[in-house]
Amino acid sequence: MLKTILAPLTPVFAAVAASFLQQVWWLRGIEGAAFGAIAFVFIPMLINWGSSQSKVVVTLRLDCAVDFLPTILPSQGRVVMVQLQPANIVPDQAGQLNERYGEPGQATGWPPNTHAYKCEVRNIGAVDVFDVGITLTVNFREAIRSESKPGEVGSGGVVRAGKVTIVAPRLEKPPFSFYVFNDSPYFAAVTAISAAYAWPGDADRPTLKLNRDPMRSISFGPGR
């Protein structure tokens, strides 16, 4: 990269040096200071700019829509669900992963008509990426049940908050899908979603950029 950036500038440096030696001493001092500024300030800036231009950015698209938990396994024979539930042992944990796999068409064991969200992560970049963690930040609010109106439940203050991450082993053109379900006695709302590599790796890996529709929120009433 450095040779590529500096190669076109070599004849320029030679011409400047020849002209420099032909100047009177005081003019050489002024030109020397200017040349030093170029060498120590502008050339590093140019190198950094060239490096940033070569960094690949992969854009991911996340879409979530209201759905039900599947009662049978899809054609892939595998389905993953993020089960929202604050953990007492780990205060900042907002849930856990629940996976079902087997023969396509086999029952998942989840009750029918269970309210959930189906999320799909699409890689709309030019290269595949691996081991991408999708992190959901979740707030849990108190469920206040009306004494005068049986069955009516209102939302109170935030009682817990935390995060839960699901890892996509590989993101290519087919989307990676998962479900989100609230299994807590609280109102639950996903307040933020982010994407980052799940494990340390090569610094030359593509930079990840996650896009999603900010108008599509993910929120649940009390799960039980």
Residue 54's pLDDT is 52
Predicted pLDDT of residue 32: 54
pLDDT at 12: 47
Distance CA 8, CA 161 (A): 56
User: What's the pTM value of the predicted model, to 2 decimals?
Assistant: 0.74
- How many residues does this entry show for the chain? 224
DSSP state of 186: S
Residue ranges in the chain whose pLDDT is less than 50: 1-6, 9, 12-13, 16, 20, 26, 28, 35, 39, 46-47, 49-53
Whole-angstrom distance, CA of residue 198 vs CA of residue 115: 28
Q: For 81-96, how does the pLDDT look when each residue is reduced to its tens digit (9 = 90+)?
A: 999 999 877 879 999 9
The answer to whether the CB of 62 falls within 8 A of the CB of 212 is: yes
Residue 188 pLDDT: 97
Q: What is the pLDDT of residue 88?
A: 77
pLDDT at 55: 74
Structure tokens at 168: 């996509």
